Chains A and B, each alone.
Chain A
Amino acid sequence: MSTLSYAVRDSTTMLRRDFRHSLRYPMMTVTAVALPVFYLLLFVGVFGNTLRAGLGAATPSGGHYVDYLAPGVLVMTACASAEMTAVSVNTDMTEGIIARFRTMAIARTSVLTGQVFGGLTRALASGVLVVAVALGLGFRPTATPVEWVAAAGVFAMITLALTWITVAFGLLAKTPAGANSLSLIIVVLPFISSAFVPTASMPAGVRWFAEHQPFTPVIETLRGLLTGTPIGTSAVAAVAWCAGLTLVGYLWSRALFDRGPAR
């Protein structure tokens, strides 16, 4: 077998290991779903009427605030899931078994690849749940089946990018709490994006930041696909950001993993 097919095989083995971990220790997965559901309930149920009134023309005509909010919360689901990956990578690195993997003739980063695809699978499952809750709260997407598939693709891309970044956080931090703190940056960033309110409603400086950070184009693309708002150049920006972050996260993680034996 070629090196590549060994790498795929080893990564699949590690992915199975990661799935078993999620089943044995489901707390993290539950937390990663609970947080975005809480955002939905809070922003729709508590702040929804005021925000809806303030948004005015920015929401689709006759729409409910949940129609504006759901795509943003979907992206925050990816963030919460990636945050959990940082913690679980960090915890895993303290396990003696990682030292064993390093002394075996296996594809070097397969243990990380397993974690990333495990995280991606959990995020997709969380995403489906969050969409279901949003539908229950009155979310009425206008997407065609093709648009749904495209939306799922965008969601998977941003999750993949964020997860590789948080794998690096998990490898970089000395403790699981440290890994969690580093990941806060990606949990907080969506708040200063178009997730909750349009960037046009923000003060100039904040607005510039919100329009140029990676989450806004991703959210705008998802919103366009799901509810038919204009996408414009957001799609290109979203794909570029996701590809760039994935590459940086992957190379950074690989370098950190190769640094030496974990302790």
Chain B
Amino acid sequence: MSTPTPAPAIAATGLHKSFGTLVVLDGIDLAVAEGTIFALLGPNGAGKTTTVHILSTLLPADGGQARVAGHDTAEDPDAVRAAIGVTGQFSAIDGLLTGEENLILMADLHHLGRAEGRRRAKDLLDRFELTEAARKTAATYSGGMRRRLDLAMTLIGDPQIVFLDEPTTGLDPRSRRTMWQIIRDMAAAGITVFLTTQYLEEADQLAGRIAVLDRGRVVAEGTPDELKRQIPGGHIELRFRDLAGLDRAAAVLGDASRANGALVLRVPADGTPQSVRAVLDRLGEQALGADRITVHTPDLDDVFFALTGHPRTEQEIPA
């Protein structure tokens, strides 16, 4: 007997959305398997937030269909709402309440009962290192603390599926690492995570599958490795002290390109030690030396250029 394939936690087909004459989503198909982390990668204005809004029942789609946790977002929004948790781009916390009060408010709205609500609030405050600040009003929290409280409020209702819209935008590197760990822990606990991000590194670190969104269309989808294979390898940047050095090196390294206006040469290389050594050896043979060397791995700009043939563009959307 074959086991049936489990229904995806999130399934969207042909999602369309326009604001006035501006087409924000132009036919999006997505499928996210239960218990996995899925990243929607794209620049500002690609339609990431609009996608999250539609999937989380905040906005109706103009066309297409979305099923979340097995329920249609348009026909049965309350069933969807009962299964999801959403942490938006702008912190969805009540600044006039304390961290603890914010969590208990959520617990009450989930009808958890007094004792259970307090227990979960205490657990989450501990887990997200907010116990010390629990009695302070949330308006006094730092950016990282607000995000953690926001996420704790999302988790208190025990959601099956969590939407995170740019969960680390604006966070310092340390808070970003903490957030990544929290997201990994969520997936380990069986929660399906749908996150949006502008950072390839973040999608690469966290997600099992990534969809690249550009101007309202999914231009690529796959595992991080599959996507990176579509991207030409990175490059090495060589910085020179003067133009003469730059010219001589450019003559030696035939495939180098010059960066506009800077004393910098870019040589295609995949970032392995061998590739770096090969470039340095070629320079060394001619007794040339660079002032500084940087190894550049593909980033979102490269992904975009490779997948769409145009650089990242930003589009203002009214939302």
A261 touches B82 (CB 8 A): no
Q: Distance (Å) between the CB of B256 and the closest chain A CB? A: 48
Q: What interface size band does chain B fall in?
A: 20 to 34
Contact between A13 and B58, CB atoms less than 8 A apart:
no
* A96 contact from B82, B91, B101, B154, Cβ within 8 A: B91
Closest to A23 in B: B96
Cβ-neighbour of B108 out of A13, A97, A103 (below 8 A): A13
Q: Considering the complex, give the chain A residue whose CB is closest to the CB of B60.
A: A260
Q: Contact flags (1/0) for A4-30 with B, using CB distance below 8 Å? A: 001001100100110011001100000
In chain B, residues 38-79, which have Cβ atoms closer than 8 Å to a Cβ of chain A?
Answer: 53, 56-59, 78-79
Q: Determine which of B92, B108, B111 lies in contact with A99 in the assembled complex, contact meaning CB atoms within 8 Å.
A: B92
- CB within 8 Å of B: which of A71-124? 95-97, 99-106
B94: nearest chain-A partner, CB-CB: A97
Residue of A nearest to B110 (CB): A104
Query: With A20-B96, A100-B88 in contact, do A6 and B111 touch (Cβ < 8 Å)?
Result: yes
Cβ–Cβ contact B86 & A260, under 8 A = no
Are A99 and B96 interface neighbours, CB within 8 A?
no
Evaluate contact between A25 and B96: CB separation under 8 angstroms.
Answer: yes
Q: Which of B53, B58, B94 has its CB near the most chain A CB atoms (within 10 A)? A: B94
Q: CB distance B105 to A261 under 8 Å?
A: no
Give chain B residues whose Cβ lies under 8 Å from the Cβ of A21: 96-97
Q: State A178–B88 Cα separation when bound (angstroms).
A: 27
A105 to B106, CA, bound (A): 11
Partner of A97, one of B81, B93, B111, B319: B93
Q: Identify which of residues 7-63 in chain A touch chain B, using a CB-to-CB cut-off of 8 Å.
A: 9-10, 13, 16-17, 20-21, 24-25
Say yes or no for B183: interface residue by CB 8 A criterion.
Answer: no
Q: B164 at the A/B interface (Cβ < 8 Å)? A: no
Give the total of A residues in contact with B, Cβ under 8 Å.
25
A160 vs B174: C-alpha distance when bound (angstroms): 50
A104 contacts B58, C-beta separation under 8 Å: no
- Flag if B86 contacts A95 (CB, 8 Å): no
A96 proximity list for chain B (CB < 8 A): 88, 90-93
Question: Is the Cβ of A104 less than 8 Å from the Cβ of B81?
Answer: yes
Which residues does chain B contribute within 8 Å of A261, judged by CB atoms? 53, 58-59, 319
B81 neighbours in A (Cβ, 8 Å): 103-105
The smallest C-beta distance from A76 to any residue of chain B, in angstroms, reads 28
A180 CA to B302 CA, complexed, in Å: 50
Chain A CB within 8 A of B95 CB: yes
Using Cβ atoms and an 8 Å threshold, which residues of chain A touch B157?
Answer: 104
- Of residues 233 through 256 on chain A, the ones whose CB sits less than 8 Å from some CB of chain B are none
A-B contact pairs, 25 of them (CB 8 A): A9-B111, A10-B109, A20-B96, A20-B97, A20-B101, A24-B137, A95-B94, A95-B95, A96-B88, A96-B90, A97-B92, A99-B86, A99-B92, A101-B109, A102-B58, A103-B56, A103-B57, A103-B81, A103-B85, A104-B81, A104-B109, A105-B79, A105-B81, A261-B53, A261-B58
| Additional pairs, 6, CB under 8 Å, beyond known A17-B97, A20-B96 | A17-B105, A97-B94, A100-B88, A105-B78, A105-B81, A261-B319
